[in-house]
Every structure is written in structure tokens, then in C-alpha cells.
Structure 1
Amino acid sequence: MAIPNDLSLFNSTSPLYSMMELYANASSAPSAPLCSDWPPVPMTTVIPTIYSVICVLGTMANTLAVCVLACASASRRTVANTFMLNLCVSDLLFLLSLPLWAVYYSQGYSWPFGRVACKICGALHNLNLYASIFFITCMSMDRYLAIVHPLRSQSARDPKRARLTCILVWVLACACSAPTLALRDTYHLETLGVEACVILYPNHAWYQTLVWIKILLAFLLPLFVISCCYCAIGRHLLADTGLVRMQNLSHPPNTPSFKLLESQEGYSKPERPPTPCVSPSSSGSRPLAGRGLERVLWTVAAVVLAFFLCWFPFHCVTFLDVLNSEGWLDSCWVNWTIQNLTPLTLCLGFSNSAINPVLYCFIGNHFRGRLGSLCKGVCSCLKARGEEHSQKRGSFSTRLSSFSRKLSDLKDLAIVEPSGSA
């Protein structure tokens, strides 16, 4: 398999995300006018720095979330928490491979870890790409059912079904990542003198197919489902709040308005929307109003915006790369954008792995309370062990002091006895 002579093709896309095309024939590579007046981004320093920050912050946040969710009692193992736990595990698996990619960029696209590590790290990246977005979509659908249809969805929102759904998500994510795992390999680039970790596409059709699968299944379709779910949630919460306000205005303030609503035929009491990472409360809770509603709406907006802002720039650059490979766009700014912004927008997409536990867990009061309880338990355990160790040291010191006194008495007795016998 030959590599195109034009070095700009290698630099045009990120080898990390398998966007680099290695055609069987060098003549099939599209022309790429160079932008000599546009300075390139120093990838060997910028990308490793960003990866290091994402790895540290994301690993800490996801590890705390996994500890809290995995140590939760049986009553807290809800549908939302099940999806969140799997999402954090998926993010953690990928974040642990980021240091290797940071080294890869810092050494000028030279992969020093071997062929097996190249395949594993590439597989973890693609697995996380699909699994994380699929789990976010499942969580959005679960919130929609819990808030908009709380009564009709009680039988469907079962933790056992959630675990089965998680298994299906992992299988689907593995199936979507299988072609990349098979095609990814190390390849010696003579022009750079490095052993790169890339994807060797058999032909251009393979490249197009895999790219469009990623754009559709890993962005457009999940974004459509997530947006529909949260738009319906927002309308439902606003409608419930408006209805409660009307009842409060038409009835004395001393009389709870929701009790009057319950007496109407066909009306079911609105359920309090679930706090992130916490199962929805029972149907006896009051509807949100004021700051509670505003908090939920801002959380909903933050989830959609975070997903969109993190991944939309990368998929836009990916789409430009597809158009460029077809020859439909072939200009200086297009090639400069693909060369320099693909790795940077990919970093932005990776940051979603560090943002996810913050949006879904740490802003929830119940989660923070359980995290505080877990920290207190760990501190109490460490303190108890420290006191036990201190007591053992004190007891040993006491026994040693007693033994020293006895030994000193024996020495004194041995000195006194000879003088007395004389």
C-alpha cells in the first residue's frame, strides 16, 4: 500500500480519529493547495497540554462519580444512575488512553507503544465516541419519560430493563467500532521518519462510509433525539408551572392548589422532575416552582448545549474533509482549517467526557450529599485506623518502658547483692 507523496494529506486530519486516508494509489489523493501565509498551529505542544488537562480533570470527576454510584444502596440504583454509571465507565476507559495519545502528538506523530497498543487505544477512542453519546441519549429519553409521562412509564422504567439496555448499547458501540479496530494499524511514514498509528482504508468508499456512519449515528441522530426530549420536558414544566400559578391566583393562598386539581377527573398530580443522577421522586411530591423550575430548565439547557458545543465543531470540520476529498471544496482556507482545526475540535469533543459527570451528577443536591457522606466515611475510617495505630504504638511504648524499668531494677539488684553479702 502506497502513501501519497503530498505531505499535506497526512497533516490535514488527525491520525487519532482515523480521518487520515492512505489510498492504495497515490494518484487518488486530492490536490491540496498550501497556505504558506497562514501559520500552522504547534500541535506538538498544544495538543499534549490540552490532553493532559482533560485527562486529569476528567479522570478525577469520573472516578468520584463511579465511586458514589457504585457504592450506592439498592434503593438508589435507579434507571438514571445505571445509565450514568455506564457513561462514566466509558469515559474513564477512554481517558486512561489519553496520555498515550499525548505522547504520540508530542513526538511528532510517532507511536512508540507498538501495534497492539495502537489498536487498543484506537478502539477505546471509537468505543467511547459511540457509547458515551448513546448513553446520553438513553438518559435523555429516561428523563423525558420520568417527567412528561411519570405514570405510564413506571413499568417501562425498570432498573433491570435499564441494565439490559446498557448491554445493548455496549454491543452496538462495539459493532460500530469494529471496522476501525480492524483497519487501524501502525504505518511507517518515510517522509517524516516516524511509525504512525493510523487507519489504512482499503479504498475511498470505506473512508466515506465510516465517516458518514460517525456523523449520522454519533452526532445527528442523537442530537435530534436529545433535542426533542428536552424540548418536550421544557414545554411540560412550563405548562405545569403556568397551571399551578393560575390555580394559586383563583383560590385562597391558604388552600393548596394541587389538592383541588386532584379532585378533577382525569387529572394526575404532577411529579417533581428528577435531580440529575437521582431517581425521580414519588408521585406525591409537589411540582417545581420558582427557583426549582429555573434550576431544572437551566440543567436541561446545559446538557443540550454541552453536547452540541463539544461535538458540532469537530463534525463540521469532518464534513469539510469529506467535501475536500471529493474535490467539491479545494481552497487554501479549507485545507488550513482541516489541517489545524481537526485536532483542536477533537480536543473540544474529548472535553465532553470531563463535563458529563459535572452536568449529570455534581450539580445534584442528592449526589453532593452522598459524595459528602462517602468522604466523611473515608475520613472516619482513616481516622479510626490512625487512632488504632496510635493506640498500638502507645501500648508498645508502655510495654517497652515497663520492660526497661524492670531491666534497670534487675541491674540495680545485681549491684546491691554482692556488697550486702560482703
Structure 2
Amino acid sequence: MDEESESVYLNRSLAEMDRFSNLEDIDVSADGSPALRFLICLVYSVVCAAGLVGNLLVLFFIRVKKERKKSTINFFVLNLAVTDLQFVLTLPFWAVDTALDFSWPFGDAMCKILLSITVMNMYASVFCLTAMSVTRYWSVASALKNRTAQRSFSAKWTCVIIWTLATLATAPTSIFSTVSNVTGEKLCLLRFPGGQYWLAVYHIQKILVGFVLPMSIVSISYIMLLRFIRNRGMKSSNPKRRSQVTKSITIVVLSFFLCWMPNQAVTLWSVLVKLNVANWDRAYYIVHTYVFPLTVCLAHTNSCLNPIIYCLMRKEFRNKLRDLLHRG
């Protein structure tokens, strides 16, 4: 009886695998598990609420209160908050999509718009984090020189470049995203003329441009910053301050890595499958079905962690938040 049950389960899994083996989509799951869908919707709701509150507070403190308005880092934090705020506003739509078992109810135009906004803000957020890491090192290394006006001007043009690059990186999504009928369901996904091969190229771009290159630049910048602080800038200064800087840098790098690494690892596996380097087997089916949606949720949490890391961990912002709560 046990062998018969296992055989039925395996046949059912193979049937599901075959059903979804040709899906040209980046985030859709192949299983309609209500528990999984509920968990994803719950995470999206929490991330959306936390991201809205956190990023609106950042905008309030920096833009309205004009805290340290000449700070280059604050200019990047402001752009990061705008980016993450736009991103979390898309989450209710993806939550509805998930609740309906990935049956897209909003039409083709909204599919194209929302998928493009999601991907573009993912790139812009990562590029902002990268620019901030380089700026932190550069500002410390040139702290003895009065370049405030030049840094402010450069920061504005850097943000223009960031959004331009994010828009260009999102172009394939904007062009090829569409609502397609798959096994009787309307799904919001990507359809490339070349099929799986071009989808693999798309994922390779996402991995390299959206993770590997930024992670390398962030790591190198902060390693150089720590070495600079240890060897020159703070050698004879307050050890407590040096420890705080080291701690904040470690949290920034680890949060970025831990939030994005699982999703990028599964994406890389899917690339190997699409290029026939790895087999589409039961292990991949299980990971793609049950693990991949959770890695997407984890990556999305980065959008509500960013304001906490870059603002609420800083003493002056905590004090402003405390004053705001006391007045309320």
C-alpha cells in the first residue's frame, strides 16, 4: 500500500512537472497549496505595511524636516526610500495574484506596468545601495578636503545614472511581459520569442547586474573603508565609534546578502535547467514550487529593512522618531 501511494504521488508530481516545464515565467509557482499562498500573502502584507511606514518616515525626516540636507548619503537614502516605497506599493497586487493561485485578474496593461515597476525598482534599489557604499568610502577617504558642493552635484547625477541604468535593465521586462493563458489560467509572465534560451539570458542579466556585480562592489568598498578606518582615520579615536561603524557596515552587507542570495541561487539553478546543463527533476520541481516563492518573499523584505538600517539605526533619526511619538 505504501509503495502504491508513493507511486501515485510520484506520478502526480511528474504530471505537475510536465505541466509547468515550459513555463516562461520568473516568479510563478507550480503548486496551488493554500497554506503556501496564505504564507506568501501574509509576508507581502507585513512587508508592505512595514515598508510604507519605514520609508514614509525616512521621507518625512529627510525631506520635510530637512535633516542633514547637505549629506550625500542622505540624498541616496532619500532616493532609496522613494524606490522602496514604489516597490512596496506593488505588493498588494502580487498578494491578490497569489491568493487567486497566480491567476492574474488585472489585465494585460497592469501586468506589464506592475512587473516593470517591480523589476525596475529592484535594480534601482540595488544600484542605490551600491552607490552608497562607494560614497561612504569616498567621503571618508576625502574627509580632509572641502568638496561638499561637488559631492552634492555628483550625487544628483549619480542618481540620474542609476535610474537610467535601472530603466535600461528593465527594458526586456517591459517589452516581453504579458498575460498568457496557461492550462486554462491567465498568468502574468514573460514571453520571449526565443523561449527558454532568452529567458535564461534574462536571468543571467538579473544575477550578474542585480546581485553579483553590486555585491562585489559593496563588499570591496566596505572592506576598503574598514581598512582605512583601522589604519588611518580612526586609529587613535574612540574605539566605541570604530566598533559602531564596523557593526553598521556588517549589518548592511549581511542583510543585502542574506535577503538576495537564496533567490539568486534558485534563479541560477533555473538558468542551468533552461540551458539543459541541469536536469528538470523532482528536486528542482520541489524547490521551484515550495522554496522559490519564499526566497522571493525574503528578497522583498529588503525593501522594509533598508529604512531601518540606514535611518532608524542612526542616533539622530531615532531621537527625531522619539520626539515625534512623544508629541503624538
Scaled by the length of structure 2, what TM-score is found? 0.87
Opposite residue 217 of structure 2, the aligned amino acid is V
State whether structure 2 residue 203 is matched by structure 1 residue 211: yes
Q: Residue in 1 aligned with 2:225?
A: 233
**Unaligned 5+ runs, structure 2:** 1-13
Opposite residue 232 of structure 1, the aligned amino acid is M
State whether structure 2 residue 305 is matched by structure 1 residue 355: yes
Q: Are the counterparts in 2 of residues 79 and 157 from structure 1 also a CA contact under 8 Å?
A: no
Rounded Cα–Cα distance in structure 2 between residues aligned with 1:65 and 1:136:
15
Once the two structures are TM-superposed, the CA of residue 9 in structure 1 deviates from its matched residue by 6.1
Q: Residue in 1 aligned with 2:257?
A: 308
Q: Residue in 2 aligned with 1:18?
A: 26
Rounded Cα–Cα distance in structure 2 between residues aligned with 1:80 and 1:327:
44
Rounded Cα–Cα distance in structure 1 between residues aligned with 2:69 and 2:98:
42
Q: Are the counterparts in 1 of residues 197 and 275 from structure 2 also a CA contact under 8 Å?
A: no
Q: Are the counterparts in 2 of residues 13 and 338 from structure 1 also a CA contact under 8 Å?
A: no
RMSD between superposed Cα atoms in Å: 2.9
Rounded Cα–Cα distance in structure 2 between residues aligned with 1:153 and 1:321:
49
Once the two structures are TM-superposed, the CA of residue 241 in structure 1 deviates from its matched residue by 7.6
State whether structure 2 residue 162 is matched by structure 1 residue 183: no
Q: How does 1:263-278 map to 2 (within 5 A)?
A: none
Q: Which runs of 4+ in 1 moved over 6 A?
A: 12-15
The CA deviation string for residues 347-395 of structure 1, in whole angstroms up to 9 with x for no partner, is: 111000010011100011122233445556x74xxxxxxxxxxxxxxxx
Counterparts in 2 of 1:242 and 1:355: CA distance versus 1, 3 Å? closer
Q: Residue in 2 aligned with 1:366?
A: 316
The CA deviation string for residues 107-154 of structure 1, in whole angstroms up to 9 with x for no partner, is: 111111111211111011101110000000000011001223323583
Opposite residue 299 of structure 1, the aligned amino acid is S
Once the two structures are TM-superposed, the CA of residue 40 in structure 1 deviates from its matched residue by 6.9
Q: Are the counterparts in 2 of residues 12 and 340 from structure 1 also a CA contact under 8 Å?
A: no
Once the two structures are TM-superposed, the CA of residue 157 in structure 1 deviates from its matched residue by 5.2
Question: Is the helix fraction higher in 1 or 2?
Answer: 2
Once the two structures are TM-superposed, the CA of residue 234 in structure 1 deviates from its matched residue by 1.3
Secondary structure of the structure 2 residue equivalent to 1:122: helix
State whether structure 2 residue 42 is matched by structure 1 residue 49: yes
Q: Are the counterparts in 2 of residues 13 and 342 from structure 1 also a CA contact under 8 Å?
A: no
Alignment length (residue pairs) = 313
Rounded Cα–Cα distance in structure 2 between residues aligned with 1:132 and 1:9:
36
Secondary structure of the structure 2 residue equivalent to 1:62: helix
Counterparts in 2 of 1:73 and 1:242: CA distance versus 1, 3 Å? closer
Counterparts in 2 of 1:108 and 1:40: CA distance versus 1, 3 Å? closer
Q: 1:200 aligns with which of 184, 188, 191?
A: 191
Counterparts in 2 of 1:81 and 1:241: CA distance versus 1, 3 Å? closer
Secondary structure of the structure 1 residue equivalent to 2:93: helix
Once the two structures are TM-superposed, the CA of residue 243 in structure 1 deviates from its matched residue by 4.1
Secondary structure of the structure 2 residue equivalent to 1:81: helix
Q: Residue in 1 aligned with 2:5?
A: none
Q: Are the counterparts in 1 of residues 72 and 155 from structure 2 also a CA contact under 8 Å?
A: yes
Once the two structures are TM-superposed, the CA of residue 11 in structure 1 deviates from its matched residue by 5.3
Identity of aligned residues (%): 31
Which of the two has higher C-alpha Rg? 1
Rounded Cα–Cα distance in structure 1 between residues aligned with 2:247 and 2:21:
38
Counterparts in 2 of 1:147 and 1:242: CA distance versus 1, 3 Å? closer
Once the two structures are TM-superposed, the CA of residue 87 in structure 1 deviates from its matched residue by 0.5
**Unaligned 5+ runs, structure 1:** 21-33, 245-286, 380-422
Task: Tell me whether 366-375 or 342-351 shows the greater mean CA deviation.
Answer: 366-375
Q: Residue in 2 aligned with 1:8?
A: 17
State whether structure 2 residue 149 is matched by structure 1 residue 141: no
Opposite residue 216 of structure 1, the aligned amino acid is L
Rounded Cα–Cα distance in structure 1 between residues aligned with 2:23 and 2:75:
33
Higher relative contact order (Cα pairs below 8 Å, separated by 6+ residues): 2
Rounded Cα–Cα distance in structure 2 between residues aligned with 1:13 and 1:229:
41
Secondary structure of the structure 2 residue equivalent to 1:76: coil
Q: Are the counterparts in 1 of residues 173 and 190 from structure 2 also a CA contact under 8 Å?
A: yes
Secondary structure of the structure 2 residue equivalent to 1:343: helix
Q: Residue in 2 aligned with 1:319?
A: 268
Rounded Cα–Cα distance in structure 1 between residues aligned with 2:167 and 2:84:
15
Rounded Cα–Cα distance in structure 2 between residues aligned with 1:51 and 1:175:
27
Rounded Cα–Cα distance in structure 2 between residues aligned with 1:220 and 1:235:
22
Q: 2:165 aligns with which of 159, 162, 172?
A: 172
